[in-house]
Amino acid sequence: MKYRSVGIVLALACAGIGLLALPGRTSLKSSQHAGPAKTVEDRAIQKFEQGRHIFRFDTFGDEGFWGDSLKLHQAIEGSKF
């Protein structure tokens, strides 16, 4: 299940990169509306923004693995020395 979520996020990120290359598109925020999406492009942009939010804020439930099991925070602190 975790790998499926990561795959979805990566697919959305790739789609978003493709949207950035569209001519005449300077900002993704400029096309967002308060109402429902009207065009395929608007829906794609909404999905991209949704994926960006998930990628940035969702922990996918694995913080216990990285912190408790692998003690990644200690490894990062130790790398400074």
Cα(17)–Cα(21) distance, rounded to whole angstroms? Answer: 7
Per-residue model confidence as pLDDT tens digits over 50-80: 999 998 888 888 888 888 888 888 888 887 6
Q: Are 44 and 19 in contact (CB under 8 A)?
A: yes
Give residues with Cβ within 8 angstroms of 72, minimum separation 6. 66
Whether 22 has a pLDDT exceeding 60, the answer reads: no
Cα(65)–Cα(58) distance, rounded to whole angstroms? Answer: 15
Whether 5 has a pLDDT exceeding 70, the answer reads: no
pLDDT band for position 2 (cuts 50, 70, 90)? low
pLDDT band for position 26 (cuts 50, 70, 90)? very low
